[in-house]
Chain A
Amino acid sequence: MARTRSKQGRSDQWWGYLFITPQILGLLAFTLFPVVTSLYLCFVHWDFTSPAQAAGLDNFETIFHEELFYKGIVNTFLIAIGVVPMTVLLSLALALLTNGKMRGLAIYKAALFLPMVTSSAAVILVWYWIYAPDIGLLNYFLGKLGVKGPDWLTEPFWARAAIVLMLTWQGMGYYYIIFLAGLKGIPRDYYEAAEIDGANPLQRFLRITVPLLSPTTFFIVVTMLISCFNAFQEPFILTKGGPNFSTYNIVMYVYDLAFRYFRMGEAAVVSVVMVAIIGLITFIQFRLSRRWVTYLD
């Protein structure tokens, strides 16, 4: 019996390795190898056609002296700073409103989630039309409210705001669904016990909902920041990074360096710096999370 079991175990091993092979090969060929290559490319001059030449730290030196690099970083942060709080507040508010039995909930969910499913070049084009200067829909509605609409897409501040609004519109349904799932995970008895103890709704929200929802909030903030940092098609199609590079972000910079100017080494440097920034922010968030995230165990 013992012998057959160990034989069985050994054959299990092989099946296990066999089944994960396609994904492991993909991981090696299409993730780990590229990451290592990117690190290598940081230290060479290479224009994609002639052979690569050792560059020492030249690429870093060049990039750290380019104004666009800093502009790209600042814009990336500005857009994230706009999108994250707005989306968190909006999607959390929606989740709180719908946490419970409610008529028409399926329809609300379907409608709210539609922007995420269709997020593509085509829908960005629709926003391009909504933001259009003279006959755009948004400024028409603002005019109805007695506000003179700004020149979306052609004034630096408003172009960034336009991207922030569009990204918030796109993401709110997705994060709403995640918040709602998080709310459903909070045990009902906590609220009942608090109610018996005489806690008012605000106290119940602050003392039960906020702390017990914090793992979800944390997950949402981390993923949303990463997705904001990686936004590419939105500025690429809506504003082309303009006006005057005000919506030009770090991913667009990598794209231009690599695929327009064929400065592969410098492009690799920027992409590595970007990953380092994302890693650092995620790390800081994990450290800070110990202070505000409560795990129910």
Chain B
Amino acid sequence: MTKSRTGTALSHLALILVCIVAVFPFYWMLTTAMKPREDIFLYPPQMFPGTFDFGSFPKVFELMPMAKAYVNSTMVAVLTTVGTLFTCSLAAYAFAKIPFRGSGTIFGIFLSTMMIPFTIILIPLYLVFSKLHWIDTMTPLIVPSVMMNAYGVFLIKQFMSGIPTAYIESAKLDGANHFKIFLKIMVPLCKPALITLGLFTFIGKWNEFVGPLIFLNSEEHFTIPLIIASFQGVYTIEWGLLMSAATVAVVPIMIMYLLTQKYYIEGIALSGVKG
């Protein structure tokens, strides 16, 4: 299919327009955060800051325990990611490469649980966690995610199925057991898929809202999204402050994404087509 030159130009024009729409809110967030208060309320709005004022960034950390929230969010996201990678790839290896009875059926049941919405398990989970005295700790944010991620198992299994079984057979002949094969052969070969799942998990946890909202009570345990919501509750129209808080929350993820977006986009394409 050949496209005419005007056709190509028009495609680019349309794409650039949509991309501007996709990115503009972030530009607006950043520039609002960097404007002095009186410039924010100007009409018509200033598209580019006339004077820069970074004063609201330190305020974000003074007015709310944002630094603590950073620590909490990082801890939850890192621990969940490490744990998820381990349990998911282990199960994926079993489903992809170890013949055991009921493997197909169990995997089917497993996948079907992806359809169960969070809402129906929320109330009983709260009950279980309060019995275990896990409410207002980080545990209910980490443990269930680590131990239950059908999507993660699926993603890694798709990748592992493509690895020749001959590798495993020859390692077995050399006397390696399955755990050794998993660690020494499968994990290194699956690096791209593991990076993808790791990114999904980390970013998903960093952005998670409902779990922390329900399972955490005291401000010292809040993750970043909860602090953001409390900011909105207190400083309703202090736009400079709100946008600085939003910037502080979003920028680490933006940087991480821009550095690793290849894995992200490939992973989505992979899981989507097969799904």
Asked if residues A233 and B209 are in contact (CB atoms below 8 Å), the reply is: yes
- Given A22-B147, A35-B116, A216-B272; A12-B246 close (CB under 8 Å): no
- Given A117-B203, A177-B268, A216-B273; A34-B249 close (CB under 8 Å): no
B71 within 8 A of A: no
Asked if residues A230 and B268 are in contact (CB atoms below 8 Å), the reply is: no
A292 CB, nearest partner CB in chain B, Å: 18
Interface centre among B178, B246, B254 (most CB of A within 10 A): B246
A114 within 8 A of B: yes
Residues 151 to 183 of chain B near chain A (Cβ within 8 Å): 153, 172, 177-179, 182
Contacting residues, chain A, for B179 (C-beta < 8 A): 15
Could you say which of B14, B22, B41 contacts A112, with CB atoms under 8 Å apart?
Answer: B22
Asked if residues A122 and B153 are in contact (CB atoms below 8 Å), the reply is: no
Residues 224 to 240 of chain B near chain A (Cβ within 8 Å): 224-226, 228-229, 231-232, 237, 239
Asked if residues B94 and A272 are in contact (CB atoms below 8 Å), the reply is: no
Contacting residues, chain B, for A125 (C-beta < 8 A): 228, 231-232, 242-243, 245-246
- Given A34-B124, A112-B19, A254-B122; A177-B269 close (CB under 8 Å): yes
Residues 144 to 187 of chain A near chain B (Cβ within 8 Å): 169, 172-174, 177-178, 180-182, 185
- Given A20-B94, A121-B209, A129-B239; A97-B11 close (CB under 8 Å): yes
Asked if residues A20 and B91 are in contact (CB atoms below 8 Å), the reply is: yes
Could you say which of A9, A20, A100, A220 contacts B106, with CB atoms under 8 Å apart?
Answer: A20
Instruction: Render B109-125 as a binary contact track against A, CB cut-off 8 A, 1 for contact.
Output: 11001011111111111
A85 CB, nearest partner CB in chain B, Å: 17
Asked if residues A16 and B121 are in contact (CB atoms below 8 Å), the reply is: no
A134 CB, nearest partner CB in chain B, Å: 7
Instruction: Render B261-275 as a binary contact track against A, CB cut-off 8 A, 1 for contact.
Output: 100110011101101
Asked if residues A237 and B229 are in contact (CB atoms below 8 Å), the reply is: yes
- Given A35-B121, A169-B22, A254-B119; A22-B128 close (CB under 8 Å): no
A86 CB, nearest partner CB in chain B, Å: 13
**Chain A, Cβ-Cβ closest to B25:** A126
Give me the interface of B with A, judged by CB distance under 8 Å. Answer: 1, 3, 8, 11-12, 14-15, 18-19, 21-23, 25-26, 28-29, 32, 40-45, 87-88, 90-91, 93-95, 98-101, 103, 106, 109-110, 113, 115-128, 144, 146-150, 153, 172, 177-179, 182, 203, 206-207, 209-210, 214, 224-226, 228-229, 231-232, 237, 239, 242-243, 245-247, 249-250, 253-254, 257-258, 261, 264-265, 268-270, 272-273, 275
Give me the interface of A with B, judged by CB distance under 8 Å. Answer: 8-9, 12-13, 15-20, 22-27, 29-35, 37-38, 41, 48, 90, 94, 97-98, 100, 102-104, 107-115, 117-123, 125-130, 132, 134-135, 137, 140, 169, 172-174, 177-178, 180-182, 185, 191, 195, 201, 216, 219-220, 223, 226, 229-230, 232-233, 236-237, 250-251, 254-255, 258-259, 264, 267-268, 271-272, 274-275, 278-279, 282
User: Can you identify 11 A-B contacts, CB atoms within 8 angstroms?
Assistant: A20-B90, A111-B23, A123-B29, A125-B245, A185-B273, A219-B275, A230-B117, A258-B122, A259-B126, A271-B119, A274-B117
